[in-house]
Amino acid sequence: MSQLSPVPTSPAAITEAAAMFRAAMNLFRLWGLTEEEAAVLLDQPVRSYRRWKAGEIGRIDRDARALVSVGGFPVTQVAWPGAVRIIRSAFPPIDLFEDIADPADWPLLILAEMKTNPRLMETIGNLDLVPPARRVSGPGASWLMAPFTRVSRDRPSRFSDGSFGALYVAEGFETALFETIHHHGRSMARTKEAPGWTSQFRELVLSIDGNLHDPRGERAEESALLRLDDYAESQALGLRLRAAGSEGVAYPSVRRPGGECAGLFWPDLAGNPVQGRHLDYRWNGERVDLYREAGTGKMFRIG
């Protein structure tokens, strides 16, 4: 007669489950749920929920894993202390975000400032898109807040249709470079720009830390989420994930093999932004073939 025996849970599965539960607990905190209500949603005994919340290993079943793994992808804690983002240098800092004032006081400061600067909101964007608890302030905060307040459906991205913001970063400089030269090249080709050195960009080095949905195991050539220039499926996923409380997505770069990127759904998942190099890109009429470090004049060919 066959006997049934328990299947041991691997350390990797436990780590993945813990990351999922941290993401779920962040969502429950924002909703203001009690421990008892959260446990009911996860179909867990309150005692098990409290053990997970305290950082201990508690019981986790298949239904609970499915609930916190929206979209069918695992949730992984992604911490990159040296993440890189490259942006246009044309955008100046936004004084409100750079100030050390508590973000909870921003509405009052805006009202006061608008008495002498009626066009202030054009600079700040839609602050209501970021809940007060998720706003960041201080030196460099403009680079973290602007992608979430200055949004438009005319500027969609891989995981957003433009109705909400996302902060995209790469795990390192080369991946960020290849991501930006692709998009810059498409823009130059669309407007039929003449060859030459074009817009200046700036390198930002920052840290990120979040519990992100993680399709990094997907094969780019097989996944609808990782198509080169068709974002329909990935935008639909982004809408579902964000509505369910996801913190963002970690995914493989489709511009640089082996590279990794992350799209964050909230600014407080990033921190410590520091400006790095200023970069110039050369457009040869067909693609970006060179970049130059503005500070040193050194040029590098892009293969």
pLDDT at 2: 37
Tracing tokens 């770069």 back to the chain, one arrives at: 253
How far from 261 is each of 63, 139, 249, CA to CA, in Å?
A: 29, 24, 8
The pLDDT tens digits of the residues spanning 245-299 come to: 899 999 999 999 999 999 999 999 999 999 999 999 999 999 999 999 999 999 9
Residue type, 222: E
CA nearest neighbour of 223 among 213, 214, 235, 233: 233
Averaged pLDDT for residues 35-62: 66
Q: Is the pLDDT assigned to residue 67 strictly greater than 90? A: no
pLDDT at 9: 40
The pLDDT tens digits of the residues spanning 201-257 come to: 999 999 999 999 999 988 767 788 899 989 999 999 999 999 888 999 999 999 999
Contact 132, 266 (CB under 8 A): no
Q: Which of 2-6, 132-136, 198-202, 211-215 has the lowest mean pLDDT?
A: 2-6
pLDDT at 233: 93
Q: Is the pLDDT assigned to residue 63 strictly greater than 60? A: no
∠ Cα 84 202 147 (to 5°): 70
Averaged pLDDT for residues 97-125: 55
> What pTM, to 2 d.p., does this model score?
0.72
Q: Is the pLDDT assigned to residue 98 strictly greater than 60? A: no
pLDDT at 10: 43
Q: Mean pLDDT of all residues in the chain?
A: 81
CA nearest neighbour of 113 among 105, 277, 49: 105
pLDDT at 204: 96
Work out the percent of the chain whose per-residue pLDDT is above 90: 52
Tracing tokens 């080709």 back to the chain, one arrives at: 189
| DSSP assignments along 97-149, one per residue | HHS-S-GGGHHHHHHHHHTT-TTHHHHH--GGGS-GGG---STTHHHHHHHHH
Q: Is the pLDDT assigned to residue 160 strictly greater than 90? A: yes
Contact 60, 69 (CB under 8 A): no
pLDDT band, residue 34 (cuts 50/70/90):
confident
